[in-house]
Amino acid sequence: MRLEAPLSYYAATANAAPAHPRLEAEIEADVCVIGGGLAGCSTALHLAERGYRVVLLEARRVGWGASGRSGGQALPGYACGPDRLVREVGLENARRMWEISVEGLELLKTRIARHAIDCDLQWGHLQVALKSRQRDELAAEQHTLEDRFGYGPLRLLERAEVQALLQTRRYCAGLYDPGSAHLHPLNYALGLAEAAHAAGAVLHEQSAVTSITPGDPARIQTAHGAVRARFAAVCCNAYVDGLLPQLSARIMPVSTYIVATEPLGAARAEALIRQNIAVADSNFVLDYFRRSADHRLLFGGPVSYSGLDAFNHAHATRRRMLKVFPQLRDVAIEYAWGGHVDITMSRAPDFGRVAPNVYYLQGFSGHGIALTGIAGKLVAEAIAGQAERFDLFERLHHRPFPGGCYLRVPALTLAMLWYRLRDLL
C-alpha cells in the first residue's frame, strides 16, 4: 500500500509510482505549490509546461487526501448550481464560468490521453430522482442547462428507461449526461503528478508546510527546509488547517464514506448498471455509485458534518446500498474508507489571493475531479499575467462559517437536519 491511510479500494489498486524525497534544504523557485492533490498537481503541471521553476510540497503522499479517495465522478458545473452563479455574477458571467467547467472535462480527457494515464476513464452520468418533485427539478435543470447555458444534449429518462439501465425500482426518473465521466481518482492524481515531474516540476512528499510568509519572494517553511518563491499557490483544501486561518474559516471539512464490494463478476456487475455510467441521486445527502474496472460496485452515501466517526460507516453505507440494490445482500464489503472533503457555505468554489503573489484554490464542494484541473490552469494563467478568468471567480461571495472554531460544527450539523428531513418529504 502506497498511502499512509486506511486501505481503500483505490490504494489497493494504485499504479506503481515513485516516492519523492522530503525537502531538507532551503531552495528557490519561481512558484511553490502547496498540496499534492489534483488541484496542486494540475497547477504544477500547467506552470512547468509554461517554463516556470516549480516546487510542489505535499505533507504526506501525492493523492493522500480527497483527491485519492473520492467517488471519482467528473461532472461539469459547480455544487452551488447555475442559479446561484447567475444571482451573484449575472447571466453572461455565469455562462462563462459554466464554459470553464466544461473546458475542465475536455482538459481531463486530453491530459489522460496525452500523458497515457491509466485511470479507468469511462463516460456517462445519470442523476436520478426518487420522487416526482425531484423529477420535475431534473426537467427544470435540463431546460436551464440546454436553453440558458448551451450545454447538452441531455436526456430526461422516465421510470421505465431508468429501470432499463439500473437493476433497481428505487428511482422514478433520471437526467443522463453523456459528457460527464468517472475514473479511478488516485491513479489520475498519481498520473498528473508524474506528468508534472516529467515537465520539470520538483516534488517533495512528507514535507508539511508550517508557515507561509508573504513577501517578494514569499517564504514557505517546512520542518526541515524552506522554499523562497516569487509566487505561491495554496491547494490544501480540507487540510489547510491553521496554515492560513482566513482560509480555513471559509471552508468546513466534511467526512464522506465509500465502500467497495467484493468482485461480482462481469455478468452480475453489468446487470446492476447496464451501461458503464456513474449514478448519483438528487437528495441533498445523496447516494452515488458506479462499477469498477474489476466488476465491483463502488457505493458512497453517508456523510458526517460533525467531523466525528461515531457510527459504523461501513455498515451504514452498506445499508444504503441495499436500499438501492437489495439483491446484493449476499455480497461482502471488501473495502470501506472515508475522510474529509471541504465545502463552502454557498457550495461555490473559493479561488483567490491572500497576498498579491500568494494564490489559493479551495471549496470544490464535491465537484473536484474535473474542476481542480481547470482551476490549476487558471492559476497558471494568472501567474503568467492573464488573470481575467481567475479573477472572475473572485467575484463570488464567501462568508466564514458561523460560530467560529468551536460552534461552527454543531451549527452546521443542526442545519443539515433540515436538508435530511427535506430529502424524506
pLDDT the model gives residue 284: 82
**Does the residue 414 lie in any domain?**
no
**Does the residue 404 lie in any domain?**
no
**Does the residue 61 lie in any domain?**
yes
Q: What is the pTM of this model?
A: 0.93
pLDDT the model gives residue 255: 86
pLDDT the model gives residue 413: 52
Query: What single string gives the DSSP state of each residue in 228-254?
Result: EEEEEEE--GGG-TTSSHHHHTT-EEE
Determine if the peptide bond prior to 82 is cis (ω within 30°).
no
pLDDT the model gives residue 405: 53
Determine if the peptide bond prior to 153 is cis (ω within 30°).
yes
CATH number at residue 334: 3.50.50.60
**Does the residue 138 lie in any domain?**
yes
pLDDT the model gives residue 309: 52
**Rounded to whole angstroms, how far apart are CA atoms 379 and 365?**
19
In one letter, which amino acid is 7? L
Domain range for 163 is 9-393
pLDDT the model gives residue 253: 86
**Does the residue 241 lie in any domain?**
yes
**Does the residue 249 lie in any domain?**
yes
pLDDT the model gives residue 265: 98
**Does the residue 199 lie in any domain?**
yes
- Residues with pLDDT less than 50, the chain: 1-5, 310, 407, 411, 414-419
**Does the residue 415 lie in any domain?**
no
The answer to whether 365 and 349 are in contact (CB under 8 A) is yes
What is the number of structural domains in the chain? 1
pLDDT the model gives residue 46: 98
What does residue 267 show for φ and ψ, rounded to 5 degrees?
Answer: -65, -45
pLDDT the model gives residue 5: 46
